[in-house]
Amino acid sequence: MAPKKGLGKGLDSLIVGELEKMPTKKQKTETGQIVEKIIEKPIEIKVKLSEIEPNRGQPRKEFNEDTLDELADSIRVYGVLQPLLVQKEEGYYKIIAGERRWRAAKKVGLKEVPVIIKDYTPQQVVEISLIENIQREDLNPIEEAQAFKRLLDEFKLKQDQLAERVAKSRVVITNALRLLKLDERVQDMLIHEMISAGHGRALVAIEEKEEQYNMALRIVDERLSVRETEKIVKNLLQPKSKKEKIVFSESEELAYQHMQDRIKEIFGSKVNIHKKDKNKGKIEIEYYSVDELERLLELFDKLKN
């Protein structure tokens, strides 16, 4: 499988010196002379598995057991080929990149694994964890969106800066963040792959959460495609066509006003005629006491007889 264009650059720029890099770099001395300075390569050491702990703040929360089993089978035969990237904490080593390898190594029953120890800022830790998972396509859409949001909110990055760091376009990041507006039940459906990110983006247009969730259930029940979902949502959001307002001529308005006044005289109460169209409508008679209502009923009885 060909590597994803641009992603390697994003990770290399953060893990300076971790990957294979040129062993020397030019540096100017105090006298102005340019010399070659040897760059120290990261040292790989073996660390007990019991001394390593996952990064609780890493973007990925869901791990597929089937793919972990496959990785464990590979480790059982060939060992851990790529060292874990860790950071020294008080009393343990925190995983920056390589939690899948750590989990698979535990399945196999290894006692120790190769690691490279580096020191990073909290922002770099999040960025590296995010980029590694993006490269492997290990994050579900909600995990990815939450990681983007954390980098924007917690570390005050702008969207164009974030796009450059993770080698994604601004459009991709904007669309990912929109998924966090979904109802939590719909987000859970996305996490468990009941619906796709494309379905989720279509559902974001529905503001009412219950209606949003019901539409998500319909997607699952009817196995709707993203295109079908977009069409249904568009129809749902279209404003209902307003009924054409009936326009009455001046003479017709005067006739209705005259009839309204005549009915008022007959009943002795305030009367309103509400016209629905030129042939239909309703008459509203107001009363202000029980006695007046009884008087109106007596009048109706007389009219009936």
Q: Is 99 a catalytic residue?
A: yes
Of the candidates 62, 164, 165, the residue with the CA atom closest to the CA atom of residue 123 = 165
* 3-class DSSP string for the chain: CCCCCCHHHHHHHHCCCCCCCCCEEEEECCCCCEEEEECCCCCEEEEEHHHEECCCCCCCCCCCHHHHHHHHHHHHHHCCCCCEEEEEECCEEEEEECHHHHHHHHHHCCCEEEEEECCCCHHHHHHHHHHHHHHHCCCCHHHHHHHHHHHHHHCCCCHHHHHHHHCCCHHHHHHHHHHHHCCHHHHHHHHCCCCCHHHHHHHCCCCCHHHHHHHHHHHHHHCCCHHHHHHHHHHHHCCCCCCCCCCCCHHHHHHHHHHHHHHHHHHCCCEEEEECCCCCEEEEECCCCHHHHHHHHHHHHHHHC
Residues with Cβ < 8 Å from 215, sequence gap 6 or more? 203, 206, 229, 232, 233, 236
- Count the neighbouring beta carbons within 10 Å of the beta carbon of residue 103: 16
Which of these is catalytic: 30, 53, 99, 222? 99
Measuring CA to CA, how many Å separate 199 from each of 111, 180, 191, 192, 240?
A: 44, 13, 12, 13, 24
Active site residues: 99
